[in-house]
Amino acid sequence: MTKILQVKDLELSFHTFAGEVKAIRGVNFDLNKGETLAIVGESGSGKSVTTKSIMRLLPESSSEFKNGEILFNGKDLTKLPEQEMQKIRGKDISMIFQDPMTSLNPTMTIGKQVMEPILKHQKVSKAKARKVAIELLAMVGIPNAENRYKMYPHQFSGGQRQRIVIATALACNPQILIADEPTTALDVTIQAQILELMKDIQKKIDTSIIFITHDLGVVANVADRVAVMYGGKIVEIGTVDEIFYNPQHPYTWGLLSSMPSMDVNEEKLYAIPGTPPDLLFPPKGDAFALRSEYALQIDMEEPPPFFQVSETHYAATWLLHPQAPQVEPPAAIIERMRTFPGSRYYEATGGRA
Amino acid sequence: MQKDYEQLPQDKFKRITLNSDHAERIAKPSLSFWQDAWLRLRKNKGAVVSLVVLVLMIILALVGPHLNGHDGTTQNLRHANLPPKMQGIENLGVMDGVGNLGGKKIDLYEMKKVDEYYWFGTDGLGRDLFTRLWQGTQISLLIAFVAAMIDLVIGVIYGGVSGYFGGRTDDIMQRIVEILIGIPTLIVVILMLMIMEPGIKAIIIAISITGWIGMSRIVRAQILKFKNQEFVLAARTLGTNDKKIMSKHLMPNVLGIIIINTMFTIPNAIFFEAFLSFIGIGLQPPNASLGTLINDGYKVMEHQPYVLLFPAIVISVLMIAFNLIGDGLRDALDPKMKD
Amino acid sequence: MVKYIGKRIIYMFITMFLIATATFFLMQTLPGSPIASYSKLNDTQKAIVEKKYGIDKPTPVQYAIYMKNLAKGDLGTSFAFKGKSVNDLLASRIKPSFILGAQAMVFGTIIGILLGMLAALRQNTFWDYGSTFLAILGTSIPSFVFAALLQYYVASQWHLLPVGLWNDGWKSSILPSLALAMGPLALSARFIRTEMIEVMSSDYITLAKAKGANKFEIAFKHAFRNALIPLVTVLGPVAAGLVTGSLVVEKIFAIPGIGEQFVSSIMVNDFATIMGTTLFFSAFLIVVIFIVDILYGVIDPRIRLAGGKS
């Protein structure tokens, strides 16, 4: 597998009136060609900021890279001059935003907006660009694209607008597509359609996708690998199966337990106590320890390193240290682990539910 | 991603139990809406300076007329048309009593054998302009404040009732507003002034007769915005009555915008008063307001520019201060306010 | 849309009718007028006026006659200007007022837009503070103070331009236009700055950036149009400000325009001219606001649809 993007020790801060907000505090991950990596976490965990920093879309006046690098095709994106960055945006890496109602320019026809990256990055005539744009619109499922090409965003529904945004993002066959909660603002039925569309497209153009979401149901549906973020750090990363059926970090346990599911009869839905850490004054040790019932003394003192669980699975929790006591995950998690070969609760006979 | 984990003291791996209150602890001190707004307003230098300037102006408007012993209405033709002269800075070449007389620069105080100091000079009737200026400022501020208060009361009640009760009430009230809003303020103000006895009362009535419409529209829009929000529905579900919902739930949310709007009505009223007095249908002599003073000054601008200069500065500074405070309040109370 | 326009036109007529009625009855209660001025006329004039307006008849009849003449577009006869019709008076004076207003409007808005853009794109720099300060001055300093200062310094002291009157061609119009332009300038600069900052932080600007657009394209291709469209809404207040300003500015520079005439007709209680000019100003402002609303619907695609539906 070729690594198309490598994020190493990324640290980023915002300068605000209140002081320095350490929004990303050492993030590491790789993105392989053709895969979908989901980044999950609650609001304020730094997932959106991470991807916006890859695109360098954060306001330059208030944000600052403190450390680390983002390697894309051998270039460190954190150090690239703005002009070089403009050549990458929309061409090699493109992005879809959360709210389709606000992410299209209300006073520009959708055709023009889809054409914009084509004209910007490829040396083609207007007529050709127009043709490509219509094809793209048809591909993302806008019926009657030739005629609707000249319409304005408000003449489309939310789901259709998100399709148009996707068409724009795909205009130059990007190597990486970053989708920042692309379905959050949509109806559930539309959500499913958009997810299907994204999966289809990935098959067609072989792009890598970074999919940001807080919805674990969506993750299971689209992702190959999952990174769980908390307090500006990745706390656990692994394949979808590893994260869903052999989670190691107490925060991942919390997330999975708080996901309503059909097959487990819960009396009441689990909620993670407390609130996310204030990144103006990030905690010294494990940021989640304050909210975790599995906290160890050392969590208060030192941030945990990544412990390897398998070839593809890493988790940053002191619980994986050989000296750490064995703890019993929540019942629902044990239930999940029973079905995963290699987990300590695996029941060979049980198999996958 | 280390493989060999360093050996750490075993007691570090003791499990600890944390009080869950600890997790729920809120790190930042909790500030009320108004405390927060005040902090933000204090960061706005323009607004803070304006606030200080405004307070100084108001104090001067109150005590200024009694500061130099002249009373502002006494006419003394021997002392007419004296340029500004002030102790202390008269030696610096400004405000030294030197004025133009037939194209020559001459110390008019010496020539007319006047021993007193007229800080801002005198007018053609020998009245002290310093005293008159602050008397005028007082009147202008009074007119502006009262007009703004009337706008506020009528506007809030009209807009509040219309927005809160909605339905037919709102329909009828809004039709009336739609027609009134079409009538240009200038026209109404001028017509009203022409049929009333000129004076402070007439100006206040003329300014407020259409002034409240803007406020009522803003209040109505805000009430409409808030009244269907969940917190109001919740209060209603719990059986809170109309009066209480209005006063406890809606008004606090609308208060910010009311204050901001008032901060912009006041300079508007100051302007209108001055405007009306300047074109000659506002306050009548010998009453002084900033407008009449500017009008008087304008007439003799060619030869005694100082008569115009001081009231022009005062009205400009007042207007700038009110506008900057209004801007500051708008940013502080609601950074995203657009409607 | 058609229904909306129709509704608006009806409202315009109701408003005009109310203004005309109010003006008429207010003028009736005006001390000393119109009979006082009427008595200054000679007998032939009296006869003409009596016949046309029924001054000797009871008020309701006078009102009916007045409204009938008004419907025909006849604003009446001036008492101060020896029997000249108000229509003629207005017509003879509209040109200077129009030129001043148009020049002030064009100059003020263009400079205002430029300043506002500059301030928004160079936020928190010297340019931002400079143009914001200028805008504050423009909104705060009353037009007559500004006009008086211009006249004193530029004309009387430095002798660069005429002190007043309307007899030196274009030169005569520079200072009064400048004095009038401060309002629209300040208003549009402030408006565009706020709008631009708002637009620049919107999602579609971030998306445009994510498409690889450069700063110039973002500011002009994407943001500018969106920031400019709502500026149409300030045209109403700007027009009202220009009318207000024209009264004092024309008075100060002794411009033979409608504003100057209005002020002097108030001074001499010229009943018919006051009413006529009042109606003229009202009609002008009402029409401006109407056009602004329609225009806003036409140029903003979002509203165009919303209007079509309702």
pLDDT digits (tens, 9 = 90+) for B1-59: 444 566 777 777 777 776 555 555 555 566 677 777 777 778 778 888 888 988 998 88
Neighbours of chain B (3+ CB pairs under 8 A): A, C
Measured between beta carbons, the chain C residues lying within 8 angstroms of B338 are 198
Q: C6 vs chain A: nearest CA distance in angstroms?
A: 25
pLDDT of residue B334: 67
Neighbours of chain A (3+ CB pairs under 8 A): B, C
Of B21-35, B136-150, C61-75, which range is least confident?
B21-35
pLDDT in tens, A17-65: 777 888 888 888 889 888 899 999 888 788 888 888 888 888 877 888 8
pLDDT in tens, C7-34: 888 888 888 888 888 878 877 766 554 5
Q: How confident is the model at residue B153 (pLDDT cuts 50, 70, 90)?
A: very high
Q: Do C211 and A83 lie within an 8 Å CB cutoff?
A: no
B185, B301, B324 ranked by CB distance to C152: nearest: B301
A91, A94, A105 ranked by CB distance to C204: nearest: A105
Q: How confident is the model at residue A226 (pLDDT cuts 50, 70, 90)?
A: very high
Q: Do C211 and A107 lie within an 8 Å CB cutoff?
A: no
* B220: pLDDT strictly greater than 60: yes
Secondary structure class of B100 (helix, strand, coil): strand
Residue indicated by tokens 């009538």? B183
How far apart (Å, rounded) are the C-alpha atoms in residues B309 and C89? 36
B279, B297, B323 ranked by CB distance to C247: nearest: B279
Which of C238, C236, C202, C240 lies closest to C218, judged by CA? C202
Measured between beta carbons, the chain A residues lying within 8 angstroms of B7 are 323
B335 in reach of chain A (CB within 8 A): no
Of A55-69, A160-174, A311-325, A336-350, which range is least confident?
A336-350
Q: A281 vs chain B: nearest CA distance in angstroms?
A: 9
Q: Do C248 and B179 lie within an 8 Å CB cutoff?
A: no
Q: Who's near A276: CB < 8 A, 6+ residues apart?
A: A42, A43, A44, A45, A230, A231
Q: A236 vs chain C: nearest CA distance in angstroms?
A: 28
The ipTM value here is 0.81
Nearest C-alpha in C relative to B300: C152
B13, B24, B43 ranked by CB distance to A324: nearest: B13
**Could you say which residues from 112 to 151 on chain A have a Cβ atom under 8 Å away from some Cβ of chain C?**
116-117, 120-121
Mean pLDDT of C230-250: 83
Chains A and B: how many Cβ contacts under 8 Å? 65
Q: Do A121 and C212 lie within an 8 Å CB cutoff?
A: yes
pLDDT of residue A218: 83
Nearest C-alpha in C relative to A54: C210
**3-state secondary structure labels for all residues of chain A:** CCEEEEEEEEEEEEEECCEEEEEEEEEEEEEECCCEEEEECCCCCCHHHHHHHHHCCCCCCCEEEEEEEEEECCEECCCCCHHHHHHHECCCEEEECCCCCCCCCCCCCHHHHHHHHHHHHCCCCHHHHHHHHHHHHHHCCCCCHHHHCCCCHHHCCHHHHHHHHHHHHHCCCCCEEEEECCCCCCCHHHHHHHHHHHHHHHHHHCCEEEEEECCHHHHHHHCCEEEEEECCEEEEEEEHHHHHHCCCCHHHHHHHHCCCCCCCCCCCCCCCCCCCCCCCCCCCCCCCHHHCCCCEHHHHCCCCCCEECCCCCEECCHHHCCCCCCCCCCHHHHHHHCCCCCCCCCCCCCCCC
Burial class, B336, CB count within 10 angstroms (exposed 0-12 / middle 13-18 / buried 19+): exposed
Mean pLDDT of C262-288: 83
Task: Please give the structure tokens belonging to residue A320.
Answer: 């994986």
Q: A153 vs chain C: nearest CA distance in angstroms?
A: 9
pLDDT of residue A98: 84
A323 in reach of chain B (CB within 8 A): yes
Q: B124 vs chain A: nearest CA distance in angstroms?
A: 56
Beta bridge partners of A30: A6
Q: A115 vs chain C: nearest CA distance in angstroms?
A: 10
Q: Do C213 and A116 lie within an 8 Å CB cutoff?
A: yes
pLDDT of residue B150: 92
Q: A35 vs chain B: nearest CA distance in angstroms?
A: 22
Q: Who's near A16: CB < 8 A, 6+ residues apart?
A: A62, A280
pLDDT in tens, C133-175: 888 888 888 888 888 888 888 777 777 677 667 766 677 778 8
A275 in reach of chain B (CB within 8 A): yes
Measured between beta carbons, the chain B residues lying within 8 angstroms of C259 are none
Chain C residue set in contact with B, beta carbons under 8 Å: 11-12, 14-15, 18-19, 22-23, 26, 29-30, 136-137, 139-142, 144-145, 148-149, 151-152, 156, 198, 240, 243-244, 247-248, 251-252, 263, 266-267, 274, 278, 281-282, 285-286, 289
How far apart (Å, rounded) are the C-alpha atoms in residues B135 and B141? 10
Determine phi and psi for B84, rounding to 5 degrees: -65, 140
Which of A325, A327, A288 lies closest to A304, judged by CA? A288
Task: Please give the structure tokens belonging to residue B139.
Answer: 């009147």
Is-contact C249 C143, C-beta < 8 A? yes
Which of B198, B194, B185 lies closest to B269, judged by CA? B185
B305 membership: H or E segment, kind and range: helix B305-333
Q: Of A237-241, A317-321, C245-249, give the range with the top mean pLDDT.
A: A237-241
* Angle between the N-to-C axes of helices B305-333 and B129-165, in degrees from 0 to 180, rounded to the nearest 10: 30
A88 in reach of chain C (CB within 8 A): yes
Domain positions in chain B are: 83-111, 133-338
Which of C284, C289, C307, C264 lies closest to C81, judged by CA? C264
Q: Do C26 and B191 lie within an 8 Å CB cutoff?
A: yes
How far apart (Å, rounded) are the C-alpha atoms in residues A227 and A313? 10
Q: Do B316 and C145 lie within an 8 Å CB cutoff?
A: yes
pLDDT in tens, B241-260: 878 887 777 777 788 888 88
B1, B23, B27 ranked by CB distance to A314: nearest: B1
How far apart (Å, rounded) are the C-alpha atoms in residues C2 and B310? 54
Per the model's pLDDT, the better-predicted residue between A171 and B93 turns out to be A171
Measured between beta carbons, the chain C residues lying within 8 angstroms of A94 are 210-211
Measured between beta carbons, the chain A residues lying within 8 angstroms of B16 are 295-297, 299-300
pLDDT of residue A122: 87
Is-contact A277 A283, C-beta < 8 A? yes
Mean pLDDT estimate for chain A: 84
A62 in reach of chain C (CB within 8 A): no
Mean pLDDT of A153-161: 87
Task: Please give the structure tokens belonging to residue B152.
Answer: 């506020």
Q: A315 vs chain C: nearest CA distance in angstroms?
A: 32
Q: B259 vs chain A: nearest CA distance in angstroms?
A: 25
B4 in reach of chain A (CB within 8 A): no
Which of A288, A295, A319 lies closest to A306, judged by CA? A319
Mean pLDDT estimate for chain C: 79
pLDDT of residue C35: 47
Q: Residue B94 carries which side chain, given as an amino acid letter? A: V
* A76: pLDDT strictly greater than 80: yes
A312 in reach of chain B (CB within 8 A): no
pLDDT in tens, C183-226: 889 889 988 988 888 888 888 898 898 888 888 888 888 888 88
β-bridge pairing B98-101 and A314-315:
unpaired
pLDDT of residue B96: 66
* A312: pLDDT strictly greater than 80: yes
Beta bridge partners of A64: A13
CATH assignment of B133-338, among 1.10.3720.10, 1.10.230.10, 2.60.40.10, 1.10.1060.10: 1.10.3720.10
Mean pLDDT of A205-224: 86
A290 in reach of chain B (CB within 8 A): yes
pLDDT of residue B28: 56
CA distances from B81 to B100, B127, B330 (A): 10, 9, 44
How far apart (Å, rounded) are the C-alpha atoms in residues B298 and B316? 15
Task: Please give the structure tokens belonging to residue C218.
Answer: 């973002």
CA distances from C89 to A337, C82, C247, C261, C269 (A): 94, 11, 16, 9, 16
Secondary structure class of B5 (helix, strand, coil): coil
DSSP string for C87-103? HHHHHHHHHHHHHHHHH
Q: How confident is the model at residue A237 (pLDDT cuts 50, 70, 90)?
A: very high
Q: Do A290 and B22 lie within an 8 Å CB cutoff?
A: yes
Q: How confident is the model at residue C37 (pLDDT cuts 50, 70, 90)?
A: low
B302, B320, B338 ranked by CB distance to C156: nearest: B302
pLDDT of residue A61: 78
